[in-house]
A and B are shown apart, each in its own frame.
Chain A
Amino acid sequence: MSRSSQKTDTTSEYLIPESAPELLRGPKWLRDARERSRRDFNKSPVPPRGLHLWRYTDPATFLIPHDGPPDSTPDDGVQSSEGPVSEHLEKDSTGRLVHDVGGRDIELHGADALTSRGVVVCRLSEAVDRHRKLVEQYLYQLINSRSGKFEAQNSALWNNGIFIFVPDSVRVAEPIHLLREAGRSGSTQFHRLLIVVGRNAELTVVDEYFGGDDSDRNTSHANSAVEIFGLQESRVRYVSLQRYAHRMNSYLTHRATLERGATMLTVPLDFGGAVSKHNYGVSLVGEGAESNIIGLLFASGRQHFDNHTRHHHAASRTQSNIDFKTVLRDKSTSAYTGLIRIENEAKGCEAYQENRNLLLNRGVRAEVIPELEILNEDVSCTHGATIGPIDPLTIFYLKSRGIEQEAAVRMIVAGFVDSTLKRLPSDVAERVAGFAHRRLEGL
Chain B
Amino acid sequence: MPDQKALFEFNDIHVEVDGKQIVSGVSLKILPGEIHAIMGPNGSGKSSLSNALMGHPDYAIMSGEAFLDGRSILSMSADERSRAGLYLAFQYPLAIPGVTVANFMRAALQAHRGKDADMSDFRKLFKAAMKALLIDPSFATRYLNDGFSGGEKKRIEILQMSMLNPKMALLDETDSGLDIDALKIVSEGINRFHNDSNALLLVTHYQRLLNYVKPHHVHVMIHGRIVKTGGPELALKLEELGYDWVEAEYAQGTGA
- Which A residues are within 8 Å of any B CB, using their own CB? 391-394, 396-405, 407-408, 411-412, 414-419, 422
B98, CB-defined interface residue at 8 Å: yes
- Which single member of B55, B98, B112, B160 contacts A417 (CB below 8 Å)? B98
Verify if B107 is at the interface (C-beta below 8 Å from A): yes
Task: Flag whether B137 is at the interface (Cβ < 8 A).
Answer: no
Chain B interface residues (CB < 8 Å from chain A): 54-58, 77-79, 81-83, 87-88, 90, 93-94, 96-99, 103-104, 107-108, 111-112, 143, 160, 164
Asked if residues B57 and A401 are in contact (CB atoms below 8 Å), the reply is no
Tell whether A396 pairs with B96 under 8 Å between CB atoms, given A402-B79, A403-B107, A411-B107. Answer: no
Return the 9 tightest CB-CB contacts between A and B, nearest first. A415-B98, A419-B98, A402-B82, A402-B111, A401-B108, A415-B99, A399-B78, A399-B79, A418-B98
- The answer to whether B56 and A396 have CB atoms under 8 Å apart is yes
Beta-carbon nearest neighbor of B78 in chain A: A399
Bound-state Cα–Cα, A423 to B103, Å: 18
For the complex, give the distance between the alpha carbons of A407 and B99 in Å.
13
Closest residue to B85 on the A side, CB-wise?
A402
Query: Is B82 a contact of A400 with CB atoms below 8 Å?
Result: yes
Known: A405-B79, A407-B107, A411-B104. A400 touches B88 (CB 8 A): yes
Closest-by-CB residue of B relative to A415 is B98
Between B56, B58, B98, the greatest number of chain A beta carbons within 10 A of the residue's beta carbon is seen for: B98
- Give the CA-CA distance A229 to B214 in the complex, in Å: 70
Note all chain A residues with C-beta closer than 8 A to B97: 415-416, 419
CB distance from B235 to the nearest CB of A (A): 27
A-B contacts, 18 listed (Cβ < 8 Å): A393-B58, A396-B55, A400-B82, A400-B88, A401-B82, A401-B164, A402-B82, A402-B83, A402-B108, A402-B112, A402-B164, A403-B108, A407-B111, A411-B103, A411-B104, A412-B98, A412-B99, A418-B99
Complexed CA–CA distance, A419 and B81 (Å): 30
Q: Which of A392, A396, A401, A418 contacts B111 (CB 8 A)?
A: A401
CB < 8 Å: which of A392, A393, A405 contacts B77? Answer: A405
A422 to B81 CA separation, bound complex (whole angstroms): 34
A405 to B103, CA, bound (A): 16
CA distance A41 to B77 in the complex (A): 60
**B55:A400 contact, CB within 8 angstroms:** yes
Q: How far is the CA of A403 from the CA of B144 in the complex (A)?
A: 15
* Given A396-B55, A407-B107: A412 and B96 interface contact (C-beta under 8 Å): yes
Q: A400-B54, A411-B107, A414-B98 are in contact. List 12 more A-B contacts (CB 8 A).
A: A393-B57, A393-B58, A398-B79, A399-B77, A399-B79, A400-B88, A401-B108, A403-B108, A405-B77, A411-B103, A414-B99, A422-B98
Q: Which chain A positions have C-beta within 8 A of B79?
A: 398-405, 408
Nearest opposing residue in chain A for B56, CB measure: A396
Bound together, the chains give a CA A394 to CA B55 distance in angstroms of 13
- On chain B, the residues within 8 Å of A394 by CB distance are 94, 96
Question: How far is it, in angstroms, between the C-alpha of A34 and the C-alpha of B202 when the chains are bound?
Answer: 77
A66 CA / B94 CA spacing, docked (Å): 56
**In the complex, which residues of chain A have a beta carbon less than 8 angstroms from the beta carbon of B88?**
400
Check B99 against A411 for contact (C-beta < 8 Å): yes
Closest CB-CB distance, A397 to chain B, in whole Å?
5
Q: How far is the CB of B8 from chain A (nearest CB, A)?
A: 16
**Chain A residues near B143 (CB, 8 Å)?**
415, 419
